[in-house]
């Protein structure tokens, strides 16, 4: 009992102590405990009711639907990616509950790639065109959120302007920027990504997603990689579009986007790129990778560089300087370059296989991709021929030859941009360079002349080529040159100094034999022309030129076999022109009067030689020569002695019909073998230069300028070639060395030794010279370290800014 009594007393004491302790608890604590107990009871009752209505199985997964898409079928390519798979959310099964996880809001969960051309809604903003990632989870290797991710769980302000430069940092990420900046970015996306005034940070944010799709998704396996591969053409097109809008506004974006475009285009390159059509390339400080690969393949295959590939090389290589005409007149330069390339390099341009191997190390713009390590493309044994200087020098010569022919035309466009298709402008170009419409008009004129002589007014000739205004004197001269370039001659011969016809004067056009040069300086041609002019003037002095006289003159021209076919054709046209514009005998005599008597006799004697060029002299020709001698002021009686002197000097001493003591006046049949004594002709022609000088004033009525329209003393002034990255004073080899250095962030010494060897440079000396130039320009060296050698990116950022 004692023990029992003792135990009960102790229990009473413990209970009393507990009551005392509870009495000491503050009132506020009691209230809190009661509230918590009530809440717990409510949750217990709810859970018990749900458990009674379900079986004991684990809850099935909840599927998340992709963002709403516009009406119409979805692309199969988009459906093949993981971005089109539903996001599954699982609840771990437990013994006391079977409740289901609530559905995630639209856009939440693992990131989805929105394929090109599709739409998505984020923060009530409809974004068309796709090519963005949407979701709440898209991690980098370090576990951070990728900057490109459009996270719908992030707060978005009601206002925000994408032209405000104060909303964005240098390396922006959608999850890190302000709500106002998110609103601005979404508005820029919704506006088609095309406002040129947008802050460049928003362009970079979008660009980060394109980089990830190409470099990360495509490098995986399965459907994701396959779909990403299919997106490459659309991504490349989008980057080109962005470059056109923002490339010239921001050098940094231009550099990143241009390099990225090379990666996209080369992601699945093929052999023999040099045989494919050349794509368009954005402006760059480096020769595009596509061209370097195509040229390297030429070297590997030992194939001459095709002209179009050579043209692209000339236009894109920073080591080749193109003057203003090449850039102001790109279409004409392209045509001329092809012609000059074939002319100056008839065997083509064959490239050697040098030691430097082609490789691209890509520097991503997105901070999220820097965690993936070095991203590089290699091309086996394909050499990087862009480092060679000898081919560049040859291409520079070809480009300069083509540019020189465009100087006058370019100058005109510089003064009058609208004169490109005017006749004045076209005449400064070779007809082969004319645009299609005026060229068709010229071809129609050529077709007419091919059927015979064309006689028309000068103003009608201009109108047939699309010119309504009267032609200036120098324009008429240019027109005659252009026509002669396509084997059409014009009388009057303004190119040899004939008086320029007026708008309503007659001109004669005729077809010239192709391949024959037409020199007007020879004494034989000038004497023949003077003979025709004097004979026509004499014949028309007493009235019109009769049919018989005209026939005789034409027959005389046909018999002058010492003349070339081109000269004969021009003389026929000249005779036809004289019918509408007869020469004045008075004017001709006035021009001949200053000549001394011996000079006139020398000309007259030469006419006697010309008259017998066909091996016979008819009485009609004797009569014509008498009139011509008289017009020259030479005794007509000398005709017989001069003709006889030539005839008896010929083999067999054939008599001259119509001369004194001639037994018969019958002309010798053609083809009898009569030939002039070569020595006699040589004696008469030994002073050809003197006779030409004597006749020059007769035929020259106006001074013909030596150039087409405007004297070109020096080439058109150009902006000096830009030094690479501001490094002034480098020669071609060191300039090429710099352009190759900056194409990668890091080089091994072995790689640089190959590069320097290809450029015939000593590596250490080249690095020293380049770094000295960098110090002068930027107070920093361009390279750092010895092996590997790294490139100072700060200098590139300064230049690109």
pLDDT above 90 covers a percentage of the chain that reads 32
pLDDT exceeds 70 at position 81 = no
pLDDT exceeds 90 at position 212 = yes
Task: State the sign of the Cα–Cα–Cα–Cα dihedral 600, 601, 602, 603.
Answer: positive
pLDDT band at 107 (very low <50, low <70, confident <90, very high): low
Q: What is the pLDDT of residues 381-390, one digit of tens each?
A: 899 998 888 8
Q: What is the pLDDT of residues 351-378, one digit of tens each?
A: 998 888 888 888 899 989 988 877 888 8
Dihedral over alpha carbons 306, 312, 315, 320 (to 10 degrees)? -50
Burial 30-60 (b: 16+ CB within 10 A, else e): eeeeeeeeeeeeeeeeeeeeeeeeeeeeeee
Lowest-confidence range among 49-63, 584-598, 604-618? 49-63
- The CATH class of 726-801 is mainly alpha
Higher-scoring residue by pLDDT: 745, 479:
479
Q: State the average pLDDT over residues 170-186.
A: 91
pLDDT exceeds 50 at position 494 = yes
Q: Token pair of 272, please?
A: 């023999």
pLDDT exceeds 50 at position 671 = no
Return the pLDDT at 153.
92
Strand order in the sheet with 789-791: 746-747, 789-791, 783-784
Q: State the average pLDDT over residues 505-512.
A: 93
pLDDT band at 96 (very low <50, low <70, confident <90, very high): very low
Return the pLDDT at 16.
57
pLDDT exceeds 90 at position 336 = yes
pLDDT above 70 covers a percentage of the chain that reads 71
Return the pLDDT at 318.
86
Q: Of 241, 240, 227, 235, which Cα lies nearest the Cα of 211?
A: 235
Average pLDDT, the chain: 76
How many other C-beta atoms can be found within 10 angstroms of the C-beta atom of residue 80?
18
Max mean pLDDT range (260-274, 385-399, 591-605): 385-399
How many other C-beta atoms can be found within 10 angstroms of the C-beta atom of residue 565?
11
Q: What is the pLDDT of residues 543-572, one digit of tens each?
A: 666 777 788 788 878 877 778 888 889 999
Residue pointed to by tokens 């019909």: 657
Return the pLDDT at 190.
94
Q: What is the pLDDT of residues 285-299, one digit of tens each?
A: 788 889 999 999 999
For 349, phi then psi, to 5°, come to -110, 105
What's the CA gap between 341 and 399, in Å, rounded?
8
pLDDT exceeds 90 at position 617 = no
Q: State the average pLDDT over residues 508-527.
A: 76
Q: How far is CA 567 from the centre of its chain?
A: 43
What's the CA gap between 518 and 306, in Å, rounded?
35
Q: Of 182, 148, 154, which Cα lies nearest the Cα of 369?
A: 148
pTM for the whole structure: 0.60
pLDDT band at 741 (very low <50, low <70, confident <90, very high): confident
Residues in the chain: 801
What's the CA gap between 698 and 35, in Å, rounded?
128
Q: State the average pLDDT over residues 293-317.
A: 94
Return the pLDDT at 774.
76
Lowest-confidence range among 68-72, 252-256, 307-311, 791-795? 68-72
Lowest-confidence range among 134-138, 170-174, 272-276, 746-750? 746-750
Task: Sketch the domain layout of the chain as residue ranges.
Answer: 62-246, 272-405, 419-511, 523-699, 726-801
Higher-scoring residue by pLDDT: 415, 238:
238
Q: What is the pLDDT of residues 692-726, one digit of tens each?
A: 555 655 555 565 554 443 333 344 444 444 455 55
Higher-scoring residue by pLDDT: 19, 141:
141
Return the pLDDT at 133.
96
């Amino acid at each position: 009992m004692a023990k029992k009594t003792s135990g009960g007393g102790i229990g009473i004491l413990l209970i009393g102590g507990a009551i005392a302790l509870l009495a000491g608890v503050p009132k506020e604590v009691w209230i809190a405990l009661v509230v918590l107990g009530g809440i717990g009871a409510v949750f217990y009752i709810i859970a018990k009711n749900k458990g009674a209505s379900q079986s004991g199985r684990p809850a099935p997964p909840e599927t998340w639907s992709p963002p709403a898409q516009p009406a119409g079928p979805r692309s199969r390519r988009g459906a093949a990616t993981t971005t089109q798979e539903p996001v599954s959310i699982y609840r771990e099964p437990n013994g006391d509950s079977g409740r289901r996880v609530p559905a995630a809001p639209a856009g939440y969960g693992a990131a989805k790639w929105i394929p090109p051309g599709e739409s998505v809604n984020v923060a009530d903003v409809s974004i068309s065109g796709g090519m963005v990632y949407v979701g709440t989870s898209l991690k980098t290797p370090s576990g951070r959120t990728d900057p490109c991710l459009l996270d719908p769980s992030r707060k978005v302000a009601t206002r925000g302007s994408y032209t405000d430069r104060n909303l964005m940092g240098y390396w922006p990420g959608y999850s890190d920027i302000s709500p106002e900046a998110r609103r601005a970015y979404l508005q820029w996306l919704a506006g088609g990504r095309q406002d040129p005034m947008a802050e460049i940070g928003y362009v970079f944010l979008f660009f980060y997603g394109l980089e990830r799709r190409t470099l990360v998704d495509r490098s995986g396996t399965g459907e994701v990689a396959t779909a990403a591969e299919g997106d490459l053409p659309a991504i490349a097109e989008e980057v080109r579009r962005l470059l056109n809008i923002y490339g010239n506004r921001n050098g940094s974006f231009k550099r990143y986007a241009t390099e990225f475009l090379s990666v996209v285009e080369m992601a699945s390159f093929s052999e023999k790129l040099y045989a494919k059509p050349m794509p368009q390339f954005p402006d760059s400080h480096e020769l595009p990778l596509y061209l370097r690969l195509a040229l390297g393949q030429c070297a590997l295959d030992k194939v001459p560089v095709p002209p179009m590939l050579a043209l692209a090389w000339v236009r894109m290589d920073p080591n080749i300087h193109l003057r203003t005409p090449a850039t102001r007149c790109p279409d004409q330069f392209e045509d001329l370059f092809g012609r000059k390339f074939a002319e100056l390099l008839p065997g083509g341009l064959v490239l050697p296989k040098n030691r430097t191997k082609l490789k691209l190390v890509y520097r991503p713009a997105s901070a999220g991709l820097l965690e993936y390590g070095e991203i590089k493309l290699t091309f086996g044994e394909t050499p990087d021929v862009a480092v060679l200087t000898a081919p560049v020098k040859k291409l520079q010569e070809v480009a300069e030859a083509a540019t020189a022919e465009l100087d006058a035309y370019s100058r005109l466009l510089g003064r009058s941009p609208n004169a490109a298709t005017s006749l004045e402008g076209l005449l400064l170009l070779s007809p082969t360079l004319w645009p299609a419409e005026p060229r068709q008009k010229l071809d129609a004129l050529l077709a007419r002349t091919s059927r015979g002589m064309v006689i028309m007014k000068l103003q009608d000739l201009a109108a047939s080529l699309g010119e309504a205004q009267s032609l200036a004197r120098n324009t008429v001269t240019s027109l005659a040159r252009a026509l002669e370039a396509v084997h059409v001659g014009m009388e009057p011969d303004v190119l040899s100094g004939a008086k320029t016809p007026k708008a309503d004067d007659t001109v004669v056009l005729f077809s010239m034999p192709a391949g024959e040069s037409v020199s007007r300086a020879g004494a034989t041609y000038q004497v023949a022309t003077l003979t025709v002019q004097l004979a026509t003037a004499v014949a028309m002095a007493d009235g019109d030129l009769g049919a018989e006289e005209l026939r005789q003159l034409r027959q005389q021209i046909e018999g002058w076999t010492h003349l070339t076919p081109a000269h004969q054709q021009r003389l026929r046209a000249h005779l036809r022109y004289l019918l509408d514009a007869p020469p004045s005998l008075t004017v001709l005599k006035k021009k001949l009067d200053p000549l001394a008597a011996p000079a006139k006799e020398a000309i007259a004697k030469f006419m006697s030689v010309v008259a017998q060029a066909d091996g016979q002299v008819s009485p009609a020709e004797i009569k014509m020569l008498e009139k011509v001698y008289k017009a020259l002021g030479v005794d007509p009686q000398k005709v017989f002695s001069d003709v006889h002197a030539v005839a008896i000097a010929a083999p067999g001493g054939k008599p001259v019909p119509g001369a004194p003591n001639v037994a018969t006046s019958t002309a010798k049949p053609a083809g009898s073998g009569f030939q002039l004594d070569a020595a006699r002709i040589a004696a008469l022609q030994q002073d050809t230069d003197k006779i030409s000088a004597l006749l020059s004033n007769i035929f020259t009525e106006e001074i013909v300028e030596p150039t087409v329209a405007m004297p070109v003393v020096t080439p058109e002034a150009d902006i000096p070639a830009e030094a690479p990255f501001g490094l002034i004073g480098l020669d071609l080899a060191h300039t090429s060395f710099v352009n190759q250095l900056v194409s990668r962030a890091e080089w091994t010494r072995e790689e640089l030794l190959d590069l320097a060897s290809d450029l015939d440079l000593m590596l250490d000396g080249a690095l020293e010279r380049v770094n000295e130039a960098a110090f002068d320009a930027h107070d920093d060296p361009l390279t750092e370290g010895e092996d590997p050698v790294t490139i100072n990116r700060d200098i590139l950022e300064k230049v690109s800014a």
